[in-house]
C-alpha cells in the first residue's frame, strides 16, 4: 500500500492583495499527476485544508474540483482530509455523505462520546485498512479538567482503543505508544 501524506494546503489564502489561487491550482494539478504516476492508494491530508474556518466558495470549489480530478484520474485512490486549527470542523464535514461516495473521507472533530468517528475503515487491494484520523483537538472536544498534554494524550488513547476494538489488534502500534495492550 502506498500512502502520500500532506498537510497545510491553506486553500483560499491571500497575502494582502496577492492571491495564491494560481500557485494552489498548480500544486493541486501536480498532486493529481503525482498520485497517478506513483500509483498512490491513499492520500492523507492532515490539517489546514483551508486557510480560514469560513473559506470562500472559490476555495471550496478548488477542493471539490481536485477530488473530482483525482477520482477521474486515479479511481483506486482513497482520500482522507483531517481538520486542522484553521479549518471549521462542522464546515469541513458538511459534504461528508457525498464525499464518501467518492472514496473521500473528512474528519472534522473528535467526539469523546463517540471516538469511533475518527477511525476510517478502507478496503485497499482487498485488504481492510483502518486509519485513526485525529483532527486538531479543541478544548470542547476533550476533557477540560486535565492539563493540555493529558487531555491530548487521553483523546489519542481513546481513539486508539476504539481502533483496537474495531479491528483485530496485534498490539504493535498500541504497545509502542502505551505499553502492553489487552486488545
Residues in the chain: 183
d(CA 175, CA 133): 19
Cell digits of residue 158 = 481513546
Cell digits of residue 172 = 504493535
CB distance 54 to 89 below 8 Å: no
Cell digits of residue 79 = 482520500
| Residue whose C-alpha cell is 483496537 | 164
Among 86, 118, 90, 124, which residue's Cα sits nearest to residue 105? 118
d(CA 108, CA 111): 10
Question: Is 14 in a helix, a strand, or coil?
Answer: strand
Instruction: Please give the positions annotated as active site.
Output: 86
Helix axes 57-73, 21-37, angle to 10 degrees: 20
Amino acid at each position: 500500500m502506498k500512502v502520500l501524506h500532506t498537510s497545510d494546503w491553506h486553500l483560499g489564502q491571500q497575502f494582502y492583495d496577492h492571491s495564491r489561487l494560481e500557485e494552489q491550482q498548480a500544486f493541486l494539478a501536480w498532486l493529481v499527476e503525482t498520485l497517478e504516476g506513483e500509483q498512490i492508494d491513499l492520500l492523507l491530508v492532515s490539517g489546514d485544508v483551508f486557510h480560514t474556518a469560513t473559506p470562500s466558495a472559490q476555495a471550496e470549489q478548488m477542493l471539490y474540483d481536485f477530488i473530482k480530478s483525482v477520482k477521474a484520474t486515479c479511481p483506486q485512490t482513497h482520500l482522507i482530509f483531517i481538520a486542522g486549527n484553521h479549518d471549521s470542523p462542522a464546515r469541513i464535514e458538511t459534504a461528508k455523505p457525498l464525499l464518501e461516495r467518492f472514496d473521500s473521507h473528512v474528519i472534522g472533530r473528535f467526539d469523546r462520546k463517540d471516538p469511533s468517528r475518527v477511525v476510517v475503515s478502507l478496503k485497499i487491494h482487498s485488504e481492510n485498512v483502518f486509519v485513526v484520523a485525529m483532527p486538531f483537538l479543541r478544548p470542547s472536544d476533550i476533557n477540560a479538567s486535565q492539563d493540555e498534554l493529558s487531555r491530548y494524550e487521553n483523546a489519542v488513547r481513546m481513539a486508539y482503543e476504539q481502533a483496537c476494538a474495531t479491528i483485530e489488534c496485534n498490539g504493535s502500534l498500541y504497545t509502542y505508544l502505551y505499553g502492553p495492550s489487552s486488545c
